[in-house]
Amino acid sequence: MMYYADHHGFPIVKFIDTPGAYAELKSEELGQGEAIANNLRTMFGLKVPILSIVVGEGGSGGALAIGCDNEMLMLENAVFYVASPDACAAPEAAEKHRITSKELVKLNVADGIIPEPFGGAHADPSWTSQQIKIAINENMNEFGKMSGEEELLKHRMAKYRKIGVFIEGETIEPSRKVKK
């Protein structure tokens, strides 16, 4: 479908809500890692705008495999992570993941937040849908201002090069200190 959209010049809008790829030996034997890598390689080469919207849970390699884009938006209460918090060895590690929409915008992983009604998206699905529609239209207008395929590809590449930030004054102490 991505090749079809690229061939015909259709923008791609993806809704992400997945707990992620199942991390077990059998999954790897069946080519899960290769499938994720193939999706990423394909999406980095597409010459059409790609917009991802995390509507619930964006987990692990499964979300990464479909989350390569020019812009990633998240519903206000959505999460996006490399490993599920319950897969972490300690609760402290889960807290440090910074998986919320607000934290991920600060780290340049997500590009924007779509507001939700009080109580979450399910409290008023119609209103939430309208907010998503507005966000899609705004992003498509911005994509339309780009001069062409080359600018879209450069934009996508630049987005991934700026992900993550160094936070001044936040040090991580090693659990063991080496004796000299």
Q: Residue 128: is its pLDDT beyond 60?
A: yes
Choose the weakest-confidence range: 1-5, 62-66, 76-80, 174-178. 174-178
Between residues 85 and 51, the one the model is more confident about: 51
Nearest to 17 by CA among 162, 121, 119, 130: 121
In this prediction, residue 173 carries a pLDDT of 52
7 confidence band (pLDDT: 50, 70, 90): very high
pLDDT > 70: percent of the chain: 81
Q: Which residues contact 173 (CB under 8 A, 6 or more apart)?
A: none
| Domains, the chain, with CATH or none | 2-161 (3.90.226.10)
The pLDDT of residue 112: 95
Average pLDDT over residues 7-33: 85
